[in-house]
């Protein structure tokens, strides 16, 4: 769409009809008969959030239509909808409609509706919401992508970025991409469009990749804002447009923007839009917006005050370079984004409608390996961040979650939790000397509790539906005096295999069974767990020994870890992990091939 005729307005966000390759068209537009509406997740303009967080005032809708039609601008306040502007387009072309002075309104959101009055009538081809005011600052955003053998995802996202710059030329001077290749095997095809910087890197996980990219961005003399972005996502590049625009107009120069994660498997369901960290509880990670249906008009049109986040995940987290003065902690795989959010970006973060990525289901990724990293890394994070955190908080979580695991026949999960705890208990010397890539190779080979294709017999077994919560609670409570069924005589145990969702602990179900099938509720993937009584008692002994060490050593370790933190995140320490000199680190980059 050409807006050359309107040089004094600046793009805030685009209005995009669904395309042939759109994952979920109802998130972009709704079509009913001859009416095309954009009261959708990617179509609505969240006026109240822009009013609170930016200096945008004169608001314009610039729309390109394919023929004669009637255009309506609809304002929504407390879910009451009012047509505030009507325009009749006599032919195909671009129209500029001045909607309001945003700072003088109390409207929650606006959207566009286009009515075709004849068979030859037009539809909206593309459009956008624009500001009539000059930006408060210049923004130059560097998207740092860390990748390890995810070539299809990365190359597809690069092509989307290149297409965006073709469609929105004004983005070209404000956007770059840096790809940190932990696999050292990525090749980006040459193109006349955007050419990302490619930095080969040892496999030091997300923390190592993002640290490398952040250090590069600090020293490139160009970057004002950084975007951390995972390599296994499908990016809606419109997110970049909205992120850059909000940074340009934000009244808070420390504002950070987090993109929501939408399920790749269920492409209308939100997985998370920011998170809280409840460090006193068994499950500390508390997602905001879990399982919201983004097709729902009320969810999309209603305004809500910005929730306070403790942290934001790195599938899409953008922040001013000044907020990222310190590097990530070297925790590898899990907890790096939690630490960075708790220490730096979380308190300044907001989400925005239409800033999002699609990501694969996490249920298939969880297992003993992730519990090793979560136990080790989250304890380090809590040690560094929370003054009131004590040894018994970790002991409570380890006992609570540990018993849930071992009572549900998940021996490997408990053993990997204890391995993570024991590595934390080795103190700063462990982090100084650990070979992260070798450690990752060691812990990821666990063959247990690993989802895989089920055979025909197991695929035919479905998860029972509708077991009342009180019944499940009774089973859970009964497991305690029965020691998870390990003190029951063999004749009291059922020979029939139990069935449970893949991520559930199913403690009550496991108490009277010798085997449990854990399967994905929609995919024919899962695994079978089998009771092993001698292993149970060995693990109980190991649990007691580790908790005694924790009680004895935690006060000393807390002091040592906090003293070690500046060294741990320093450029010099990261340069050593990367195997380069500090001077090379601060200047290294390789043009994409």
91: exposed, middle or buried (Cβ count in 10 Å: 0-12, 13-18, 19+): exposed
59 forms bridges with which residues in the sheet? 100, 131
63 forms bridges with which residues in the sheet? 95, 127
Percent of the residues in the chain that have a pLDDT greater than 70, as a whole number:
96
**Read out DSSP for 322-345?**
TTT-SPPPS--SSSHHHHHIIIII
- Measured between its terminal Cα atoms, the distance across the chain in Å is 31
User: What architecture does CATH give domain 10-131?
Assistant: Sandwich (2.60)
Where is average pLDDT lowest: 76-90, 314-328, 372-386, 507-521? Answer: 507-521
pLDDT for 482 equals 81
pLDDT at 591 over 60: no
Name the most confidently modeled range: 26-40, 109-123, 331-345.
Answer: 26-40
Judge whether 382 and 394 are in contact, CB under 8 Å.
Answer: yes
Question: What average pLDDT does range 329-338 have in this prediction?
Answer: 89
Judge whether 228 and 211 are in contact, CB under 8 Å.
Answer: no
Confidence of residue 365 (pLDDT cuts 50, 70, 90): low
pLDDT for 592 equals 41
Judge whether 484 and 536 are in contact, CB under 8 Å.
Answer: yes
Q: What average pLDDT does the structure give for the chain?
A: 91
Tokens of 316: 């899409």
pLDDT for 589 equals 47
Gap between the Cα atoms of 385 and 329, Å rounded: 12
pLDDT for 98 equals 96
Confidence of residue 451 (pLDDT cuts 50, 70, 90): confident
Strand 80-89, strand 270-272: pairing: unpaired
Tokens of 331: 């925790």
Say what the pTM is. Answer: 0.90
> Taking Cα atoms as reference points, which of 494, 490, 525, 491 lies closest to residue 510?
494
Sequence-distant (≥ 6) Cβ neighbours of residue 539 within 8 angstroms: 406, 411, 414, 415, 418
> Taking Cα atoms as reference points, which of 258, 449, 295 lies closest to residue 370?
449
Tokens of 64: 């390109």
HSE-CB for 439 with a 13 A CA cutoff: 20
More confident residue, 478 or 425: 425
pLDDT at 585 over 70: yes
pLDDT for 481 equals 85
pLDDT for 160 equals 94
pLDDT at 593 over 60: no
Tokens of 448: 């247990």
pLDDT at 363 over 80: no
Sign, CA torsion 191/193/199/203: negative
The number of beta carbons lying within 10 Å of the beta carbon of residue 219 is 15
Question: What average pLDDT does range 13-39 have in this prediction?
Answer: 94
3 state SS for 36-84:
EECCCCCCCECHHHHHHHECCCEEEEEEEECCCEEEEEEEEECCEEEEE
Percent of the residues in the chain that have a pLDDT greater than 90, as a whole number:
73
Judge whether 214 and 332 are in contact, CB under 8 Å.
Answer: no
Confidence of residue 364 (pLDDT cuts 50, 70, 90): low
**Read out DSSP for 479-507?**
HTTTGGGTTS-GGGSBSSPEEEETT---H
pLDDT for 153 equals 94
Ranges of CATH 3.90.550.60 domains, the chain? 141-365
Gap between the Cα atoms of 171 and 10, Å rounded: 11
Ranges of CATH 2.60.120 domains, the chain? 10-131
pLDDT of 135-189, one tens digit each?
A: 999 999 999 999 999 999 999 999 999 999 999 998 999 999 999 999 999 999 8
pLDDT for 61 equals 97
pLDDT for 464 equals 80
More confident residue, 384 or 519: 384
pLDDT at 322 over 80: yes
The number of beta carbons lying within 10 Å of the beta carbon of residue 157 is 25
More confident residue, 485 or 189: 189
Confidence of residue 423 (pLDDT cuts 50, 70, 90): very high
pLDDT at 255 over 50: yes
CATH topology of domain 141-365: Spore Coat Polysaccharide Biosynthesis Protein SpsA; Chain A (3.90.550)
Gap between the Cα atoms of 142 and 226, Å rounded: 5
Tokens of 217: 């961005």
pLDDT at 417 over 50: yes
């Amino acid at each position: 769409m050409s807006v050359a005729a309107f040089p004094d307005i600046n793009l805030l966000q685009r209005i995009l009809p669904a395309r042939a390759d759109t994952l979920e068209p109802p998130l972009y537009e709704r079509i009913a008969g001859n009416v095309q509406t954009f009261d959708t997740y990617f179509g609505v303009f969240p006026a109240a959030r822009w009013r609170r967080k930016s200096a945008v005032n004169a608001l314009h809708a610039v729309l390109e239509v394919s023929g004669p039609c009637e255009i309506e601008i609809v304002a929504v306040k407390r879910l009451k909808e009012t047509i505030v502007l009507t325009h009749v387009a006599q032919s195909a072309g671009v129209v500029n409609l001045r909607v309001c002075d945003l700072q003088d309104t109390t409207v929650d959101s606006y959207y566009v509706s286009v009515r075709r009055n004849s068979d030859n009538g037009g539809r909206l081809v593309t459009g956008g919401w624009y500001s009539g005011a000059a930006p408060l600052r210049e923004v130059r955003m560097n998207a740092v992508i860390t990748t390890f053998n995810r070539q299809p995802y990365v190359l597809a996202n690069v092509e989307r970025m290149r297409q965006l710059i073709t469609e929105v030329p004004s983005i070209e001077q404000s956007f770059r991409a840096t790809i940190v290749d932990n696999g050292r095997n990525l090749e980006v095809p040459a193109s006349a469009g955007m050419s990302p910087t490619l930095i080969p890197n040892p496999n030091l996980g997300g923390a190592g990749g993002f640290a490398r990219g952040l250090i590069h961005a600090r020293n490139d003399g160009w970057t004002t804002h950084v975007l951390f972005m995972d390599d296994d996502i499908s990016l809606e590049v419109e997110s970049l447009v909205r992120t850059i625009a909000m940074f340009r107009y934000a009244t808070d120069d420390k504002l950070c923007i987090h993109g929501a994660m939408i399920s790749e498997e269920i492409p209308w369901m939100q997985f998370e839009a920011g998170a809280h960290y409840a460090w006193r509880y068994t499950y500390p990670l508390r997602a905001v917006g879990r399982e919201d249906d983004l097709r729902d008009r009320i969810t999309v049109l209603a305004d809500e005050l910005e929730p306070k986040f403790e942290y934001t995940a790195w599938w899409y987290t953008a922040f001013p370079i000044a907020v990222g003065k310190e590097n990530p902690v070297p925790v590898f795989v899990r907890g790096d984004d939690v630490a960075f959010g708790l220490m730096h970006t979380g308190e300044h973060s907001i989400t925005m409608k239409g800033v999002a990525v699609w990501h694969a289901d996490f249920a298939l990724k969880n297992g003993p390996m992730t519990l090793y990293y979560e136990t080790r890394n989250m304890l380090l994070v809590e040690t560094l961040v929370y003054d009131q955190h004590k040894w018994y908080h970790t002991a409570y979580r380890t006992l609570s979650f540990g018993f849930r695991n071992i009572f549900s026949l998940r021996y490997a999960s408990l053993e990997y939790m204890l391995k993570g705890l024991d590595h934390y208990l080795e103190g700063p010397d462990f982090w100084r000397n650990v070979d992260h890539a070798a450690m990752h190779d060691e812990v990821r080979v666990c063959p247990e509790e690993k989802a895989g294709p089920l055979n025909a017999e197991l695929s035919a077994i479905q998860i029972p539906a509708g077991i009342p919560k009180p019944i499940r609670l009774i089973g859970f409570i009964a497991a305690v005096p029965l020691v998870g069924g390990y003190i029951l005589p063999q004749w009291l145990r059922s020979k029939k295999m139990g069935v449970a969702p893949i991520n559930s602990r199913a403690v009550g179900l496991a108490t009277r069974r010798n085997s449990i099938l854990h399967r994905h509720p929609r995919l024919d993937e899962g695994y079978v767990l089998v009771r092993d009584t001698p292993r149970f008692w060995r693990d109980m002994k190991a649990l007691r020994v580790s908790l005694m060490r924790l009680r004895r050593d935690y006060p000393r370790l807390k002091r040592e870890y906090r003293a070690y933190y500046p060294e741990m995140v320093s450029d010099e320490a990261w340069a050593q992990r990367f195997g380069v000199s500090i001077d090379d680190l601060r200047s290294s980059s390789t043009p994409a091939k």
